[in-house]
């Protein structure tokens, strides 16, 4: 089985979010970038397929040279090859079209992406990619098994789960559940050393157009002081929730 894992390069979850140039650009100053958490679950599931069922695992990112450390980390976790499409990621449609080219050239059976990136929270690249390459698609995927050319996936729905089957090629939008938190691998020294020697191929973009553009940013208004209620006077809390917030 040939697996492609799409990796988006995002600010670490603890990052302070600030903007520069008149609130038009994300301020990367002092920000640590990581593999998007949803992609990390997917990558770990891909490693499981590699170990248990035999598979090759490529990772891909659409981005400029500054994303290479993130791809190297994916190689250190155990991916075989990395591909970087040499163009800035501007919107979901553009990224999906660039990935479609990589997917078609590589003839992958399974493409694992994340439910969403935690930076722009687009939640669109895997679905667009699947439709562009006419592959099957399962979103919010929390479990995936493959036998022969048939996949069984579990998808999270609002308030429950749904079991789906589909033939390969398949694209998933994955998340926690694909593997457990405790299964996530921290690259060890050997993995890091090996990753240096693994191929990281830079390919030129097809030059897809974006259909959306992030024009500017804003931060939420600062929160007012919390209203503290004495633990021996919970009637006051009920009163506040009923009369002030009108929430009960």
Partner 1 sequence: MSVLVYTESENGKFKKAAFEAASYAKGIADQLGTSVTAVSINAEDDASLGQYGVSKVLKVSNDKLAKFNADAYADVLTQAAKNEDAKAVVLSQTANDKYLAPVLAVNLEAGYASNIVALPESTEPFTVKRTAFTNKAFNFSSISSEVKILGISKNAYGLKENETDANVEDFSPSLDESDFSVNVESVDKATNKVTIADAEIVVSGGRGLKGPENWGMIEDLADTLGAATACSKPVSDMGWRPHSEHVGQTGKPVAANLYIAIGISGAIQHLAGINASKYKVVINNDPEAPFFKAADYGVVGDAFEVVPQLTEKLKEFKANNS
Ligand X SMILES: Nc1ncnc2c1ncn2[C@@H]1O[C@H](COP(=O)(O)O)[C@@H](O)[C@H]1O
The footprint of ligand FAD (CB under 6 A) covers 13, 37
> What, of ligand FAD, ligand X, partner 1, none, does residue 156 touch, CB below 5 to 8 Å by kind?
partner 1
Distance in Å, CB of 8 to ligand FAD, minimum: 14
Nearer Cβ to partner 1 (189/228)? 228
Nearer Cβ to ligand FAD (13/121)? 13
Nearer Cβ to partner 1 (30/220)? 220
Judged by CB under 6 A, the residue of 46, 60, 103, 132 near ligand X is 60
Nearer Cβ to partner 1 (48/217)? 217
Report which residue's Cβ sits closest to ligand X. 114
Binding mask 76-95 for ligand X (x = CB under 6 A): -------------x--x--x
> How many residues line the site for partner 1 (CB under 8 A)?
80
Q: How does strand 19-20 pair with strand 9-11?
A: unpaired
Neighbours of 124 (CB within 10 A): 18
Query: What is the phi/psi pair of residue 213, to 5°?
Result: -140, 130
> What is the dihedral sign for C-alpha 238, 240, 242, 243?
positive
> What, of ligand FAD, ligand X, partner 1, none, does residue 63 touch, CB below 5 to 8 Å by kind?
ligand X
Identify the CA nearest to 5 among candidates 54, 66, 56: 56
> What, of ligand FAD, ligand X, partner 1, none, does residue 194 touch, CB below 5 to 8 Å by kind?
none
Please name every residue paired with 3 in a beta bridge, in sequence order, or none if there are none: 57, 110
**CA dist., res. 219 & res. 208, Å (int):** 30
Stretch that binds ligand X, among 71-79, 114-122, 164-172, 228-236 (CB under 6 A): 114-122
Please give the structure tokens belonging to residue 129: 């990619």
Nearer Cβ to partner 1 (66/180)? 180
Query: Residue 196: helix, strand or coil by DSSP?
Result: helix
Judged by CB under 6 A, the residue of 125, 141, 146, 171 near ligand X is 125
Find tokens 């390069």 and name the residue.
9
Say how far residue 164 (Cα) sits from the centre of its chain. Answer: 21
Cis peptide before 64 (omega within 30 of 0): no
Cβ proximity of 142 and 135 under 8 Å: no
């Amino acid at each position: 089985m040939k697996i492609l894992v799409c990796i988006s390069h995002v600010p670490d979850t603890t990052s302070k979010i600030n903007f520069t140039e008149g609130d038009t650009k994300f301020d990367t100053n002092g920000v640590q970038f990581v593999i998007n958490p949803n992609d990390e679950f997917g990558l770990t599931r891909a490693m499981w397929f590699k170990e248990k069922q035999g598979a090759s695992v490529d990772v891909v990112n659409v981005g400029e040279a500054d994303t290479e450390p993130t791809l190297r980390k994916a190689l250190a976790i155990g991916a075989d090859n990395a591909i970087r499409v040499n163009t800035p990621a501007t919107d979901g449609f553009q990224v999906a079209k660039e990935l479609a080219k990589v997917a078609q050239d590589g003839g992958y059976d399974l493409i694992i992406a994340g439910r969403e990136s935690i930076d722009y929270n687009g939640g669109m690249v895997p679905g667009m990619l699947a439709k562009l390459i006419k592959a099957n698609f399962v979103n919010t995927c929390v479990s995936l098994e493959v036998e022969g050319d048939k996949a069984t996936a579990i998808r999270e729905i609002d308030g429950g789960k749904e079991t789906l089957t589909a033939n390969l090629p398949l694209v998933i939008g994955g998340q926690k559940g694909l593997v457990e938190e405790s299964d996530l691998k921290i690259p060890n020294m050997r993995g890091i050393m090996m990753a240096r020697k693994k191929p990281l191929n830079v390919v030129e973009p097809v030059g897809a157009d974006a259909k959306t553009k992030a024009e500017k940013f804003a931060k939420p208004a600062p929160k007012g002081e919390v209203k503290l209620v004495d633990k021996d006077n919970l009637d006051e809390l009920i009163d506040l929730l009923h009369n002030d917030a009108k929430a009960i």
